[in-house]
Structure 1
């Protein structure tokens, strides 16, 4: 990865920071995003100290489309090249929250933010003809269903249902992006990190998370193990030109039947484009 630049969203902790550390150790110039400036600076110092790598920091709350657009503008200004975009940021909220744009938060952060950011950075990724887009999804996508009639949970909301839908959206987006980028040299793949011990969902945990996570935490992956698949898909030479795949434990896996529904992917793309149009 020497000489390559990787932008990782949500890179101040958990899987994102572990991904940044792993790629920096391979020689990459890494750039991380986070909502909190102090935490982002602390993460950058830790990565620099551990690896000696050059680390850029961008502060943005990706629940806001204005912040996503500002992040993209700043990244294009400060980063002469972007070889890999790792769409890592994500979250779980047990209760329904509205963003500053009036959108349901889970959909906004987990799906619309990477959808918009990828689009805004695409020309820079295409610049050298071999960019990579890696989107962190989850096996939870297999329990998801895209409810086009109630996409934002206005009629009925469940944190688990919203999360599973957003992870299915990640995979559908990845596969549709791969189709649209065919022949461009830019690849798009989705990854499942596993069940990882992080602060995921801590802002607004559901009853199941409050009761089960403390019991199951010793059995969960470390962030370093959880980041391994993202690092592999972002960097492996043997994956040059490999696109439209779903990876788990650093190996391609078959995703759910619903994730391979091309008409649904095309419809989701159209709906998402309308929701992020300025």
Structure 2
């Protein structure tokens, strides 16, 4: 079952000889993107917190694709985005093992969890959804710049929830103000868009033309991303949301389509710094376009 209002990536582009790195892809839309790139012939590196779950996903994808010709390859590396030490270790391993990275799909995320903190003391959603991916991307940039994909693509999965996001630079980590699970999620998703657009601006300023950036809203999806809703909200909020999702939410196959479009579609190769819905450019919130928001894209944490 899935939404009747869902676009499909129509590109038949092959990814033979290309290397794609995807975060958080042992389940959900990340796993579906992994399968798609594998079918297109890519070498897919699955950066996941649990190597056991990643290995199970690899086995499952291979079974599903056993009769498909011209497949790529799959491998897993350990990446825990809640630990900047783990991010650095994973990036260092890839810098040593890979000649180039053609696609970086920053897919992993956490939504509306209670107030937790990362290993480094950041609010969990901001630390996982933005800071971990920000550092991972910047550390991998030498290999992304080495790509011959024309252009290499950095794709950050955001959400329409960014429209309610506000960057509180005085208290990004909810150290003093009252915690809002929805507010923290919106802030982290707004940060994804700010990072995407500011990175594109800096690449252009450096006259780097072979790397493009993209961000997107995948839609409301039947996945385990909303597993923390019951922990953060009462039954009067969670029950209606789950009923809505049951009727209108996308399947993981449908939810993966805009991510796939940004990574492979020929027409997207001519675009950068854009926000996408339903496999097409869309408008992001006015907050995402404010120059003062660039502080979120500062130096590596």
Specify the TM-score bucket, using the shorter chain as the normaliser: over 0.9
- The TM-score normalised by the length of structure 2 is 0.86
Q: Map residues 32-111 of structure 1 onto 2, 5 A cutoff.
A: 32-51=46-65, 52-111=71-130
Tell me the residue number matched to 1:191: 216
How well do the aligned residues superpose, as a CA RMSD in angstroms?
1.6
Range with bigger deviation, 95-104 or 131-140: 95-104
User: Residue 25 of structure 2 aligns to a residue in which SS?
Assistant: coil
Q: 1:122 aligns with which of 141, 155, 159?
A: 141
* Runs of at least 4 residues off by over 4 Å: none
**Counterpart in the other structure of 1:240:** 269
Q: Deviations over 1:37-94 (max 9, x none)?
A: 2111011122233334300101221110000011101122232221000000110243
Give the C-alpha shift of residue 213 in structure 1.
4.0
Q: Which has the larger radius of gyration?
A: 2
1:31 — aligned with what? 45
Q: 1:226 aligns with which of 246, 252, 255?
A: 255
1:206 paired with 2:232, answer yes
Instruction: Give distance in 2, aligned partners of 1:94 and 1:203.
Output: 5
> 1:244 & 1:191 partners in 2: Cα distance?
10
Cα offset for 1:9? 0.2
Greater RCO between the two (CA within 8 Å, min separation 6)? 2
Q: How many residues align?
A: 272
- 1:176–1:262 CA contact under 8 A, matched in 2: no
Residues 1:139 and 2:165 aligned together: no
Point out where structure 1 has 5 or more consecutive residues left out of the alignment.
Answer: none
Change (3 A) 1:254 1:121: same
For structure 2, list consecutive stretches of 5 or more residues without a partner in the other structure: 1-14, 66-70
Q: Cα deviations across residues 114-146 of structure 1 (Å, max 9, x unaligned)?
A: 110010001100113521100000011011110
